[in-house]
Structure 1
């Protein structure tokens, strides 16, 4: 009898799933899962108690262009369950508008003034001992990641959830003391209308991905927010506080950072109460995994200087742990069909800015792009196999730096784009590989830094150093800022990198002086192009693949061109605060602007645009089984053959689009009006015409390349004259220069005899006449730009 009872119990346990048994999960939220019904029943015992609700993608679509990547965080909200009759409502609190007051009526006045959001309504199925049981299945089967809207916005088609093919994912259900995790396989069906979904799905009318939901306990009240300072290099949490006295700023700003406390607050250096630990994706291959761990670990040095010992640790993810679990700061290795972005995201407390989870996503094809850049620069596939190892090491060096960079975002740091002009002062810049020339050969040994920089230590010191009281904190933080200002360090971030304004905050640039570095890089480019050939590709590779590697070499200086262009009509400035002694604004000297322009014009001269004849002969059309890519290949005007004139045209378009930016043009007009020693927009236009249409057209390839530059200038001028973002003053000068070109082209046409040359000028006159008659038609003309350079590691 004793043997029969256990056997019967075992039999009943194995039978329970088939008779409706619900598996129970206990933790932050208790819930049960019925496999038979594919149903999640949630137990709610915390009415009106706020918690964090986070959604993310546990699997991705695999297209960089769509941005629906594995691990992408898609929303962080402070929510609570509120009882309303026979329902529980999941209500999102509105922390953008608050009253930090002890007066309940004052708090209520603000709460009532701004909307809340009810995210879901659950019917109460059972109530028992102040616990409410609701069917949460439909809630977890919704499009919580806005996948349908993302596909529609990208013109990929109208997709909707197909419930019959969607289900709760049992292995994604977990509950721990401070967080509960839920996951569902969601299937979308629709008619594809774009190219991206078609390239990454086995059946493009069906997209099935896993969407993750996290319920997370809010942190305790022991975290102390730290004041935001625009000079300190941190992201901020902001809100409007209506309890603020009216003579004080209503907007409150605090930096985003992890909680880090000393075991011994009185010690100069102390171990932390709890270290910050990051975990690297187990799916990352070697030697990349070790490079990610090494690069991310650089931050420990900065924390040591801020007074913490062994405060920042990086290790491999534990076996079986979930990358979406809020308990783990993660560095994940994300695969896509094409190279794409890397980024550092966080789950943080919207009330205080405290970071609860750092979540880094690194595109796995990024390292291949760096290897291709090294391959093109050094042509390493000759007899000396050490050259290949050097190219590999450069790619791994970039991965270390990229790991440190993206982790930097997840510990609170913003981009530090002025660092490349200050001897690589921060890993939070976007670094162009620092290539040098040694003994007439290209040297990659210092392409990327092998440590964090001086700015990184300053920033961590500001964000994480502990102080004994509020007074010492304010004094200490002010001293950190003032010390770096006195030492000549600058911090400038994203906002200054766009629009061509700040010459020293460009992405992917190098050097203290943008145009001098451009001049140096052009020398490197010439060496690389002169050596480019059979040894650029491995044995057995089709010769046609030379074009793939040629693109990053031919356009090697593209980002430095953008940096040098920002000198012209640029403005040097700082995030200056009243009383801090920093320079506020300063126009760029006319001499620097003129020198920058001359070097930029040199980049579009026939000598610089020309590709060696021996190389052109080596690039046949792509063979069977090898396709062309918009990211790696130059759009050709000659059918299947490689088109060197098209390559030149795209480079000249890039230069002219930078120089004829409508905002730059307006600044040139304004600055010249305020100070007549500053070059005006008219002067810029005169010099562009002098370097192109006014030059003598020679025969052969040099003459054809000059025609390419001439046509590019005319097209870009027409686009500027029609640009809705250009001011009337800018449009007027552009229009007048177009008319001047008509006169010049007519004169040239009458003075030359070669038919090809006459045709060039005659067609320009014809184009301008059409433009004058019906300019609207020219709005449809799009200038051809170089193949994608970015993303090569951007956020």
Structure 2
């Protein structure tokens, strides 16, 4: 018996040893479909697996994940074509394990000394983003099952949906599979795609509105392994005045007397065939490909607008260096070899944007990817209907400018987003320089003819801007040698500044309490206050003639509200621009010794002009709507419910004219009494008594609202509404804990003065509505006085969605 067990044990060990014998790659992949490419890989049809042959162990490559099939909601921000994180990785082997390791390129030593490089590598953490088990090995070649890596939630969709309170989702392998049609091999890259299903319990309205079954969210996830560019690219030093994005890293090999942080321009590789020539062909032109899914006339507009950039490259001495073509029928938009302009559909209108895949080592752009929201052209058409009132008695549009303005905006949109993929920031200081850049957000220029009719002939600029040409010259001019580059770039920048160009980016334009008087989104004109008054004049003419001629025949009359929204709120962005004049500070991204103005306070006269223009926006005359128009907007018919594109309402099913006024007025007041703006008013006045002080601005506001002559009728209702909103914002300012004590003290003083006035009004006013308004205000002040730290005023109605006005920030727009 003992011999039998010994024999059995020997047999089992022999069988086990035979089973553990490593198979060759040929044996393991016998009968499988092979794909040649940067990495060879195999398709196991029976097992539904991708087996990756790794023949480049320890070699750094680029790994990019992306979302070729999106979710379809702008609110969720998970759009078709969205590029995920770009990482440098390498496959490393340890026994049977193959690790996908991401080195830490944020901290490095750019040095020929290997010990110096190693000291930095060992000082900072790296990341292993996946682990594989070798299926077969031959020398330095290993075979791994890539499938679990492909079927994971590589885009962190579950985390993002949970953050957005849409539910808890996780990838489920049983409902996920490799998507072979978009799994391809090329000499410098391999592309893999999977259909991945995330399962969970939906909690949010947005995810439920765009998914057939909200408990099962199926998308496509794409993975690219890419050969890193060669070492012939010459990085270009970043300059904050040039308008380009920066590739940043800490270089611990820099001498002590030089900056640790290194910054390089983010840009494509572009060289002249003859750098010494004034005009030369490019060694390899930049080619962008347009999504074939874009219909006409959209397609032609996008091709034309994107191609505007060739004007800038021509100005930099290149001939035909920037080209735009239709994407070949057999091309995969996610293929790294193609710079792509995609036409993206969503259930709601939203931002368009331009993104890039960038080499983290150098800042070189490897692929540009533009995503254009398809609904923005419909919003532009809607705005045109409100501006032109085109529908006559026969029901046919009488003005071809409707389509012309929508298409003109599409050209600008294409140029703008392509600009981001060339490495350019937004430039929000371009509009006062007569539309110097397509990288600004353009407000349509609406002019009035002498007879009061609308002129849209200059609605949008055509062609690339003068600032854009200077930026491309700085970023892409070929100087022939690194030695000549520094001097030449300095000369280009001196000339740019001498020509009066300015560049201001997102942080300076988007802040609600922003101070820069010319850095704005969606503004126009050289002076924000003057333009606000002009826009109000235009708006007044538009509202006076607004009618059912804005509606196509057969449309429910209630839809007149949708067309009314952008017209009634035509001033919304210029309000923000004018508010930045108040307590404003002009400044530049000045470098020491470059001769630019570093800081300069906005002159008092300009600030007071802005205050007057802002107060005009909350006057009953500007907030009221014609009775004839109100009579033409009935409650919504069945299946035409309210949306975020319509005005909020406190009147139930009926159109709320006071609600529309409230949403407009509160926006002005929030900008004017922004705590940061109030702090600057107090500070600048203390340092320079000629500057407007917070107390004086509040007195001006109260004089225009609570201390103004009482109105009667509808104007009186609007006046009392604005009075309550003014008090609400004043109390909010006084209760803001982050506001300086002097600001809160001044606000409290004005509240106390107003309280005294209200007590008199309540006792002596003959008009019941005035006494009632005074009583409500006193009760509100009383609530504040009981516990200022916990005071929360009644929330005001907000404006319908605006930004993106017919689009959809940024680098993105």
Question: Is 1:546 the counterpart of 2:546 in the alignment?
Answer: no
TM-score normalised by L of structure 2: 0.94
Q: Matches of 1:363 and 1:36 in 2, distance apart?
A: 40
CA distance in 1 between counterparts of 2:651 and 2:789 reads: 28
The correspondence of residues 667-746 of structure 1 with structure 2, limited to 5 A, is 667-746=680-759
Shift of 1:627: 1.4
Residue equivalent to 2:589? 575
How big is the shift at 1:178? Answer: 0.3
The residue aligned with 1:5 is none
Distance 2:728 2:557 in 1: 34
**Counterpart-to-counterpart distance in 2, 1:446 and 1:79:** 50
Per-residue CA distance 1:689-710 (angstroms, 9 max, x = gap): 1110111222210000001110
Deviation at 1:349, TM superposition (A): 0.3
Q: What is aligned with 2:476? A: 464
Aligned to 2:232: 222
What's 2:336 paired with?
A: 326
Structure 2 match to 1:56: 66
Tell me if structure 2 keeps the 8 A contact 1:716–1:783. no
User: The residue matched to 1:370 in structure 2 has which SS?
Assistant: helix
Q: Secondary structure at the match of 1:779?
A: coil
Q: Contact between 1:20 and 1:34, CA under 8 Å: does it hold in 2?
A: no
How much has 1:252 moved relative to structure 2?
0.8
Deviation string 1:341-367 (CA, Å, 9 cap, x unpaired) is 000000010000000000000000011
Contact kept, 8 Å, 2:313 with 2:473, in 1: the verdict is yes
What is residue 500 of structure 2 aligned with on the other side? 488
- Displacement of 1:776 in angstroms is 5.2
Equivalenced residue count is 776
Q: CA deviation at 1:193?
A: 1.1
Cα distance in 2 for residues equivalent to 1:50 and 1:366 = 41
Within 5 Å, which residues of 2 pair with 1:156-235?
Answer: 156-235=166-245
Per-residue CA distance 1:464-517 (angstroms, 9 max, x = gap) = 111122332112111111112112221222121123210101000000000001
Partner of 1:445: 457
Partner of 1:598: 612
1:57–1:72 contact (8 Å) kept in structure 2: yes
1:146-545 superposed matches below 5 A:
146-382=156-392, 387-439=398-450, 440-497=452-509, 498=511, 499-545=513-559
- Measured in 1, the distance between the counterparts of 2:691 and 2:650 equals 41
2:134 & 2:547 partners in 1: Cα distance?
72
Q: Is the 8 A contact 2:244 2:425 kept in 1?
A: yes
Q: Deviations over 1:490-549 (max 9, x none)?
A: 122212112321010100000000000111111110111111101011111111000011
Q: Displacement, 1:754? A: 2.1
- Specify the SS of the correspondent of 2:417: helix
Q: Map Cα deviations across residues 647-701 of structure 1 (whole Å, 9 max, x no partner).
A: 1111110000001111111111110111111111111111111110111222210
Out of 264-273 and 441-450, give the one that drifted further: 264-273
**Distance in structure 2 (CA, Å) of the matches to 1:777 and 1:114:** 45
Counterpart for residue 10 of structure 2: none
User: What do residues 273-297 of structure 1 show as CA deviations (whole Å, max 9, x unaligned)?
Assistant: 1110000000111000110000000
Tell me if 1:655 matches 2:665.
no
- How far apart are 1:43 and its partner, in Å? 0.5
Match of 1:81, SS state, is strand
Do 1:57 and 1:70's aligned partners in 2 also have CA atoms closer than 8 Å? Answer: yes
Match of 1:6 in 2: none
Partner residue, 1:10: none
1:90 alignment counterpart: 100
Give, in whole Å, the separation in 2 of the partners of 1:252 and 1:559.
37
Match of 2:26 in 1: none
CA distance in 2, matches of 1:261, 1:469: 11
Q: Give me the whole-angstrom Cα distance separating, in 2, the residues matched to 1:777 and 1:268.
A: 68
Structure 1 position 559, deviation (Å): 0.3
> For 1:676 and 1:198, how far apart are their aligned partners in 2?
57
Conserved 8 A contact 1:20-1:36: no
Supply the distance in 2 between the matched residues of 1:84 and 1:388 (Cα, whole angstroms). Answer: 71
Residue matched to 2:79:
69
Match of 2:602 in 1: 588
SS in 1 for 2:707: coil
Residues in 2 aligned to 1:747 and 1:421: alpha-carbon distance in whole angstroms: 47
**Is the contact between residue 417 and residue 494 of structure 1 (CA under 8 Å) also seen in structure 2?**
yes
Distance in 2 (alpha carbons) for counterparts of 1:625 and 1:531: 29
Q: What 5-or-longer segments of structure 1 have no aligned partner?
A: 1-18
Look up the match of 1:769. Answer: 782
Deviation at 1:774, TM superposition (A): 3.2
In structure 1, what is the Cα distance between the partners aligned to 2:469 and 2:638?
Answer: 53
State the partner residue of 1:12.
Answer: none
- 1:646 partnered with 2:659: yes
Cα pair 2:648 2:798 within 8 Å, conserved: no
For residues 289-339 of structure 1, give each alpha carbon's deviation from its aligned partner in whole angstroms, at most 9, with x where no partner exists.
Answer: 110000000000110111110100001100021111110000000000010
In 1, distance between residues paired with 2:363 and 2:163?
30
Distance in structure 2 (CA, Å) of the matches to 1:329 and 1:749: 68
> Per-residue displacement from partner, 1:554-573 (whole Å, max 9, x unpaired)?
00010001000000001001
Query: For residues 254-274 of structure 1, what are the alpha-carbon distances to aligned partners after superposition, in whole Å with 9 as ceiling and x for unaligned?
Result: 101111111222222111111
Normalised by the length of structure 1, the TM-score is 0.96
**Cα distance in 2, alignment partners of residues 232 and 550 from structure 1:** 40
Task: For residue 386 of structure 1, report the CA deviation from its aligned partner.
Answer: 6.5
| Contact kept in structure 2, 1:430 and 1:508, CA below 8 Å | yes
> In structure 1, how many angstroms separate the alpha carbons of the residues matched to 2:296 and 2:32?
42
Whether 1:619 and 2:633 are equivalent positions in the alignment is: yes
Question: For 1:63-103, what per-residue CA distance to the aligned partner results, in whole angstroms no more than 9, with x for missing partners?
Answer: 00000000001110000001112101000111111111111
Q: Secondary structure at the match of 1:401?
A: helix
User: Quick one: distance in 1 between partners of 2:791 and 2:384?
Assistant: 40
Cα contact 2:38–2:185 (8 A) shared by 1: yes
Pick from 564, 577, 600: which aligns with 2:578?
564
Offset, 1:726: 2.1
2:662–2:796 CA contact under 8 A, matched in 1: no
User: What's the CA shift for 1:383?
Assistant: 5.7
SS of the aligned residue for 1:186 comes to strand
